[in-house]
Amino acid sequence: MSIFDLIAAAPDPARADLFVTPELILRSRGFEPGGSLRKHVHSHLDEVFIGLLGETTVYAGDAVIRLGVGETHVVPRGIPHEIRNESDAPSRLAIVKSPGDDDDTEWL
């Protein structure tokens, strides 16, 4: 089963935990135009963002990364980051967190 199959089968593909283990979380997260996930940092996990729909902007440290469909970016632990949809169309990311500790978020 591909990541796209998992997302298509989710009850709400715009926000769904698709695969959760102590080692890994795979999540789908959608953003309407102007939507965002505010700045935060993880001290014990790394995140991989994969563009699934539209264009999503990741602000990580001093970097600005615009992710289109199929593009990826890794945010290592300890790097403050936020996610924004600065476009006029919906966007969606697959987010991989490793290890799978969802309590490791400090909102800034």
Domains of the chain, residue spans = 3-102
Q: Check if the beta carbon of residue 85 is closer than 8 Å to that of residue 52.
A: no
* 8 pLDDT tier (thresholds 50, 70, 90): low
Q: Check if the beta carbon of residue 31 is closer than 8 Å to that of residue 56.
A: yes
Distance CA(92)–CA(13), nearest Å, equals: 9
Superfamily of domain 3-102: Jelly Rolls (2.60.120.10)
Question: 61-92: per-residue pLDDT in tens?
Answer: 999 999 999 999 999 999 999 999 999 999 99
